[in-house]
Structure 1
Amino acid sequence: MNIIQCYAPTNDSNDDIKDQFYERLQSIIEKCPRKDLTTLMGDLNAKVGIDNTRYEDIMGRYGLGERNENGERFANLCAFNKLVIGGTIFPHKRIHKATWISPDHTTENQIDHICINKKFRTTTEYVRSRRGADIASDHHLVVANLKLKLKKNWTSGQTALRRFNTAFLRDTDKLNEFKIALNNRFQASQDLLKEEETTVEDNWKSIKEAFTSTYQEIKERRNKKAAINNSRTRTEIIQAQTEYIEANKQVKKSIKVNKKKCVEELATTAEKAAREGNMKQLYDTTKKLAGKYSKPERPVKDKEGKPITEIQ
């Protein structure tokens, strides 16, 4: 399986920047073996829309809005590489299609995508956005459910061992249930075997059946979750959302105040450096004020301590 996570330039970006991005993305896709499952996902900043004319093989008619220039580029890339755009092939409500919302909460677009190569199209059960994540972002989470059917190569002459997942027995209540149920089954088996002449093989089968059937019985019990539909719960959710929005506003307001204070301090430092003739400090401070100051990057090093400069 190959997963490609990317962040594309916005629709208003320079064409040269867009060309460079899609050329780089194409080169990465070409490195993925055709027989492998390849997933391309991320913030593509591309609206593909609902019209799938000429793109019937890689998208459905359940997109959102109208296709823009970035959407055209993205659709062409997917068509060339036979990548199906998952967010367009499943019918959903509008709120489950939109992946981005404007700061004023008036505009919604579908610009984040999850794609899978056409060969594995049937493994995708659904793709949709999920709202309500506790993150300060104008994007919604986009999720996809894939169901793979993996083949196992059996070696002739060998019997496959069945392994039981006993992790649920770490729960004390489940463990006690298991002990009681197993004891009851053993008792019933012993009473039955006493009435007949049995062999070692019969005893072993009885013990094995007791363990396996008890395991399945206890493991498959599920605690039913109560439906959250009472008015008190809904009120608490609305109140929590209101408190979150207010807290988020306060955080953004605090950031603006601190940013303004930082700019004023830098301006004071620059004026002082100019009066004292400290040109180096004046130059560095001016770059910070202009937003062009950046710390030197620290390259990732390999095991031998040499900087990695190529794609690994």
Structure 2
Amino acid sequence: MTQCGESRKEATKPRNLLSTRKTTRLGTWNVRTMYEAVKALQVAREMEGYQLDILGLCETRWTNAEECQLASGETVLYSGHLEENSPHTEGVGILLSTHAKRALIGWKAEGPRLISDEFRSRKKDINLHVIQGYAPTNDKDQDVKETFYKMLQNTIEQVRRKDILILMGDFNAKVGSDNVGFEEIMGKHGLGVRNENGELFAEICATNGLMIGGTVFPHKQTHKSTWVSPDQQTENQIDHICVNKKFRKSMRDVRVYRGADVASDHHLLISTIQLKLKRRQGIVNNHRYRYNVEFLREPSSREEFNVAVKNRFQVLETLGEDSSVEETWEATKEGWTTGCQEVLGKRKREHKPWISATTLRKIEERKKKKDQVNRSKTRAAKAKAQEEYTKAIKEVKVSVRKDKRNYVDDLARGAEEAAGAGNMRGLYETTKKLAGRYKNAEVPEKDKE
């Protein structure tokens, strides 16, 4: 698939991820699990909404190490347990946009807690390395922690000194606001008090000259805390994004965006990277939007849309016979577009065919509930909002399971009818849909030669 005005040769040409004129947005997020129906769709929608090129994922709970492409166009690289019949625990991954995928040089799976990627930049002799990590919690055994940080040190040592290194992920480390002894790798804008994991994380950053971005930029506490307890009383800064000190000025900002929602107790942490601190105004383009016409399948939405368009078209009666064709066309177009925006809304993302419009509405309602939790000022209001948000999470899961069950039942019924009618082609196509189409496993690390 190529973009408008883009040839096939240009569409397959490698791209550069970093430049001196454009900013690159990357983030890290503990999504709690990707081993759940429609979870990948929700994460991809949030990634597009926040215009991220790279999104690191923690606790994916996927097994094996593979590369696959989502139905929405993004590419996901993930690393988990490689043993047979291994549990669906831990796991890390990196979600790439179409542009970032074309800039990818290679990637390497380092186990269920580490994954590394290498990308091209605008400057030919400088590449971008991204390491996504998921460290053990503070209550784990010391041997487990030492094994993780030893593996992390080996991965960092493989990066050339002249390249840009981004280390990010959920390290379960509170580095705190006191930077005594670590003035070169952290600022005074951290959150809380440093714990044992924070000491280990600060030491490895000091050893490799990595600046902890979340402690450098001054923000409100709500834009620093990356994790919140289930009772909404405790907030900690345990997710981090770091950059090597040589390219410290290339990191323009690091902050938390609490509006992103995938039913996780962690918030989305985003960093903006640019090789030069030069502002450039974005180019305004007149985009052609598509609308959620799937909502018209519901009788209530269809009736609401008909009433909205009918009310808009009443304006045409006031134009009179002296109006020109251009005026009539502008009024007609405005009536249609306004009705579509108010009732249907703009379609943000391609989704699986079996997801109903009701489920999509429930996902949007769940996001609004989380926004109410973030905006609550009193403890009672936050508790009430959290209760409604938890209820919305359960409703989304129930609706997704119902849609998937209905979809599978319809496919099975179609396969049975095709077999009875002797339609072998239709039977095979339906069987493929039921079995699922999986991409063959690829070698995680590619040879640059």
TM-score normalised to the size of structure 2?
0.38
Is the partner of 1:115 in helix, strand or coil?
strand
Pairwise CA distance, 1:246: 4.9
Matched AA of 1:54? G
> Does 1 or 2 have the higher relative contact order (CA < 8 Å, sep 6+)?
2
Q: Which residue of 2 aligns with 1:81?
A: 208
Please list the CA deviations of residues 139-188 of structure 1 after superposition, one character each: whole Å capped at 9, or x if unmatched.
111111222139xxxxxxxxxxxxxx99936669xxxxxxxxxxxxxxxx
Render the CA deviation track for 1:42-99: whole Å, top value 9, x for unaligned.
1010000011111111001110111001000000000000000000011111111111
SS where residue 20 of structure 1 aligns?
helix
RMSD: 3.5
Q: Distance in 2 between matches of 1:41 and 1:83?
A: 11
Pair 248,111 (structure 1): closer, same or farther in 2 beyond 3 Å? same
**Match for 1:149 among 276, 286, 299?**
276
Aligned to 1:59: 186
Q: Quote the Cα distance in structure 2 between the aligned partners of 1:63 and 1:126.
A: 14
CA shift in 2, pair 1:247/1:117, >3 Å: same
AA of the residue aligned to 2:181: R
Which residue of structure 2 aligns with residue 112 of structure 1?
239
- The equivalent of 1:17 in structure 2 is 144
1:245 Cα deviation from its structure 2 partner: 4.5
1:86-127 CA deviation, whole Å, 9 max, x = no partner? Answer: 000111111111111000000000000000000000111111
Q: How does 1:19-58 map to 2 (within 5 A)?
A: 19-58=146-185
Contact 2:185–2:212 (CA<8 Å) still a contact in 1?
yes
Q: Distance in 2 between matches of 1:301 and 1:246?
A: 42
- In the TM superposition, what is the alpha-carbon distance from 1:28 to its structure 2 partner? 0.7
Q: Give 1:255 shift.
A: 11
Shift of the 136–59 alpha-carbon distance from structure 1 to 2, 3 Å rule, reads: same
Partner of 2:266: 139
C-alpha deviation, 1:132, in angstroms:
2.0
- For structure 2, the 5+ residue unaligned runs are 1-127, 290-367, 374-383, 399-437
Aligned to 2:372: 241
1:6 correspondence with 2:125: no
Letter in structure 2 aligned against 1:39: I
Identify the residue that residue 279 of structure 1 maps to in structure 2.
Answer: none
Structure 2 CA distance for aligned equivalents of residues 28 and 239 of structure 1: 37
Give 1:134 deviation, angstroms: 2.1
Aligned to 1:189: none
Counterpart of 1:100 in structure 2 is: 227
> TM-score by structure 1 length?
0.53
Q: CA deviation at 1:252?
A: 6.3
Give the structure with the higher percent strand: 2
Between the aligned residues of both structures, percent identity stands at 52
CA distance in 2, matches of 1:37, 1:89: 18
Partner SS for 1:34: coil
Taking the aligned partners of 2:140 and 2:221, their CA distance within structure 1 comes to 27
1:250 pairs with one of 372, 391, 415: 391
User: Secondary structure of the equivalent of 1:77?
Assistant: helix
CA displacement 1:228-250 (0-9 Å, x = unmatched): xxxxxxxxx67973798555423
Matches within 5 A, 1:169-208: none
Shift of 1:130: 1.1
Residues 48 and 171 of structure 1: CA distance in aligned 2, closer, same or farther (over 3 Å): same
- 1:5 and 1:126 map into 2 onto residues whose CA distance is 19
1:272-283, aligned counterparts within 5 Å? none
The count of corresponding residues between Structure 1 and Structure 2 is 188
The letter of the residue matching 1:97 is: K
